[in-house]
Amino acid sequence: MPKIVIENLHNKELRHTYNSAIVLNILHENYIDWMHACGAKGRCTTCKMIVLEGSDSLHPLTEAEKHYLAQGQLKRNERLACQAVTTGDLKVRIPETSKLPHINYSS
């Protein structure tokens, strides 16, 4: 069963049974509050995540992600949680700019 580990959320492990699923949907189904100001439409970068491990289990960049990468608003190791589709294990971090004030993050 594939899993997503959120390193700076106390190494929270989320398991999912999907063969292929949007990361943000998995996060929300597991009651993880994750910033997404545009309503998960790929129109902003507030849902970005830093991919530490498992980038090979993500589908290729979407057009929206390519656009933000070209503008310098995404780095090579960052993806939009609302656009990234995973097929396997991931280890991610929440960037400082996307942290929510009511959540207790770890370092």
Q: Report domain extents, the chain.
A: 3-98
Q: Per-residue pLDDT tens for 57-99?
A: 999 999 999 999 999 999 999 999 999 999 999 999 999 999 9
- Domain 3-98 fold: Ubiquitin-like (UB roll) (3.10.20)
State whether the Cα torsion 79-80-85-88 is positive or negative. Answer: positive
Q: What is the pTM of this model?
A: 0.94
Burial class (CB in 10 A: 0-12, 13-18, 19+), 18: middle
